[in-house]
Structure 1
Amino acid sequence: MRTTLNLALIAALLATGACARRDRAVDTTPPVATAPTAATNEDDVGLVELPGSQADLIAKAGTDTIHFGTDKSDIDSESQRILAAQAKWMLANPTVRASIEGHADERGTREYNMALGERRANAARNYLVAQGIPSTRLLVTSWGKEKPVATGSDESAWAQNRRAVTVVVK
């Protein structure tokens, strides 16, 4: 009788234990993403631009673009400051090559704007060369009015489209 009672007690305990395990819900929800924290020491990985990349040029030089006046291809003082910063970046990244791309606004013929875009790109290239960048690292491309960054037929849009852009090429 005692053996039967012990077996009954063991069976009850096992049944209760099994039920308790079945009642526990398994958490299948994905973990909540937390905001990344700032790097605290040199072993931590932070988000940085890849050295020698277009994003790195923009981050270090401030911008990859200079602007021009209507029908102009001369480098003003603001553009000189920008190009000097780009030259400093290029000197620090001696394996990088760049294409200087000249652009124009929508006014004028295609041929006129292609020539104007080329004069603008060459003006930027010549300034970079004067800052010590080897001419062999710089290509010149004119897009004329073919690749506007701003749409519209007003002075605001035209001013944004009269530009030369330094584009990193590998």
Structure 2
Amino acid sequence: MFNKLFTGLLGVALVFTVSCSKKVKEDPSAGSDAAGISQESMNFNAAGSDSGTIAGLNTINFDYDSAVLNGEARAKLKANADWIKTNSSVTIQIEGHCDSRGSVEYNLALGERRAKSVKDYLASLGVSPKRMTIISYGKEKPLEIGDTEAVYARNRRANFVPLSN
């Protein structure tokens, strides 16, 4: 009787010991991102941005509920294309973002259309599509929090993140 009780308690203790192990957190001060690009080597400036900007690349802003590139956006993308072509070792991720209005699903789709329109235009300017990927964050990663038109306008954007050097 004692052996059965002891074996049962030992089994329960083993289950609790294994299931209560601590998860190890990664050190955020590693000095480089997951792709291995040091922030210093890319002249990376994350001030005022949820995912950062690369010095030399302009963030593209969009009108409400639109993925259409206006004249100002096209001029910025021309400069971005020149920078990307000059820095041929860099692969770029284009992130599409939206303001907080609308459903999660709708804004994810709109953010994807925004990132795709930027990628397509850069490709038309001679940037290899193989050097660009797109991702949509919809309204999930706002640059600013608030309910004013100015805040909404800053959140409707596509920005650029380096993936490799």
5 Å matches for 1:46-61? 50=41, 52-55=42-45, 58-61=54-57
Query: Could you say what the CA RMSD is over the residues aligned between the two structures, in angstroms?
Result: 1.5
Q: Which amino acid in structure 1 is aligned with residue 56 of structure 2?
A: K
Note the alpha carbon deviations across 1:70-126, whole angstroms, 9 max, x for none.
000001111111111111011111111000000000000000000000000000000
In structure 2, the CA distance between the partners of 1:53 and 1:125, relative to structure 1 (3 Å rule), is farther
With over 3 angstroms needed to count, the CA separation of the structure-2 counterparts of 1:168 and 1:142, relative to structure 1, is same
Query: Which residue number corresponds to residue 106 of structure 2?
Result: 112
* 1:158 is aligned to 2:152: yes
Matched, 1:142 2:140: no
Matched with 2:117 is 123
Percent identical among aligned pairs is 42
Q: Is the 8 A contact 2:54 2:162 kept in 1?
A: no
Q: Partner of 1:120: helix, strand, or coil?
A: helix
Determine the C-alpha separation between the residues in 2 that align with 1:158 and 1:84: 25
Q: Is the 8 A contact 1:54 1:167 kept in 2?
A: no
1:60 and 1:66 map into 2 onto residues whose CA distance is 13
1:60 Cα shift? Answer: 3.1
Q: Aligned with 1:60: secondary structure?
A: coil
Residue 38 of structure 1 is matched in structure 2 by none
Question: So what's the TM-score if we normalise by structure 1?
Answer: 0.65
Give the Å deviation of 1:131: 0.7
Q: Identify the match of residue 71 of structure 2 among 77, 94, 107.
A: 77
TM-score (norm 2): 0.67
Deviation at 1:53, TM superposition (A): 4.8
| Aligned partner letter, 2:73 | S
Secondary structure of residue in 2 paired with 1:74: coil
Number of residues paired by the alignment? 118
Whether the 8 Å CA contact 2:99–2:155 is kept in 1: the answer is yes
C-alpha distance in 2, partners of 1:125/1:106? 23
Structure 1: which 5+ residue stretches go unaligned? 1-48
What CA distance in whole angstroms lies between the structure 1 residues aligned with 2:163 and 2:82?
A: 17
Q: Does 1:102 align with 2:100?
A: no
Give the number of the structure with larger relative contact order, counting CA–CA contacts within 8 Å between residues 6 or more apart: 2
Unaligned runs of 5+ in 2: 1-39, 46-52
